[in-house]
Amino acid sequence: MAHQQQDSHEHHHHHHDHGDHGDHEHGHGEPATHDDWLKYWEQGEDDWEHSIVDQFLIKYLDRLTAGNKRATILVPLCGTSVDIKWLCEQGYKVVGVELAEAAAKLFFTKYKLEYKVTTADNGLTVYEGFNGNLKYVVGDFFVFNKDMYGTFDCLWDLNSFDPINKDDKQRYVDHCHSLLKPNGPILLGSYIFDDHYCGPMPVTLDTIQSLYGNKFTVEHLELTDITMVMRDTIKDVEWKPNKIEETVFIMTRKN
Ligand SMILES: C[S@@+](CC[C@H](N)C(=O)[O-])C[C@H]1O[C@@H](n2cnc3c(N)ncnc32)[C@H](O)[C@@H]1O
């Protein structure tokens, strides 16, 4: 079912790819390039109605922040995630990093948030909201580094590890590590559609352990059916997965 839809709705491939089932004619399994993502956002629409804050972010927020109400939180590959708005409303200082400027504009307009556009010393464009408590950085996550805002107390990763190309995964993990303070945790959530993992690698405990295990202690928190919560937030009328699950991990820097 999802297989046919894959071909006729190329844009899904990037946002919530249905997994490498091996029987697609084209496009499937090929890494998403920066251009693919920029085009996806320039269409000006998003497949998801990001109206619901991730329930596991809410549930595990105290573990993520270690109860520190002033924690700084990094959100890589943030898209138009409502989570960053919610975290700012809770009083945290949040930095989101996203390749597509179109996504930045969409984020601020869809939530009717005031912003000002600045340019950082390294040349990256930064959209600032919530009186500077939100810095939405436009650029490649691998170019963003601790010279910009130092290191962070913790990191929220929702469907960001997942779409990273296979060959870049370890680099992504190491880069996240370099942006965290000692003992800083990562909370990671990843969607599974109709039993299929989305990105180029299944987000299982084995995968997570092998990529994060050297530098982090890994704990699998849960694998939960979120169909009832999420299904109706998909705007596409032709793509309705029967089952959506979220798998959730917490990783803590060993040093
Ligand atoms: C699957 S979406 C997830 C968005 C968001 N985390 C959410 O839950 O809605 C992945 C996002 O990462 C962005 N992206 C992909 N590669 C990137 C990179 N190297 N640096 C920064 N952003 C990137 C894409 O433009 C896209 O918005």
Q: Whole-prediction pTM value?
A: 0.90
Smallest CA separation from ligand 1 atom 9, residue: 81
| Kind of pairing between the strands at 154-158 and 125-129 | unpaired
Ligand 1: lining residues by beta carbon, under 6 Å:
15, 37, 41, 50, 77-79, 81, 97-100, 103, 140-142, 158-160, 163
If you measure from the C-alpha of residue 220 to the centroid of ligand 1, how many angstroms do you get, rounded to a whole number?
23
Q: Which residue has the tokens 């997942």?
A: 162
Mean pLDDT of 110-128: 96
Tokens of 55: 């329930």
* Element containing residue 88 per DSSP (H, E): helix 82-89
- Higher pLDDT among residues 32 and 91, named by residue: 91
If you measure from the C-alpha of residue 139 to the centroid of ligand 1, how many angstroms do you get, rounded to a whole number?
10
- In sequence order, what DSSP letters do the residues of 105-147 get, joined into one string? HHHHHHTT---EEEE-TTS-EEEEEGGGTEEEEES-TTT--HH
The predicted-structure confidence for 180-189, as pLDDT tens digits, reads as follows 999 999 999 9
Domain ranges across the chain: 32-253
Which region among 46-55, 117-126, 164-173 has the lowest average model confidence (pLDDT)?
A: 46-55
CA distance 213 to 206: 10
Phi/psi of residue 93, nearest 5 degrees: -95, 125
Q: Which of 22, 5, 58, 32 is nearest to 199 (CA)?
A: 32
Ligand 1 atom having least distance to the Cα of 97? 21
Reply yes or no on domain 32-253 having CATH 3.40.50.150: yes
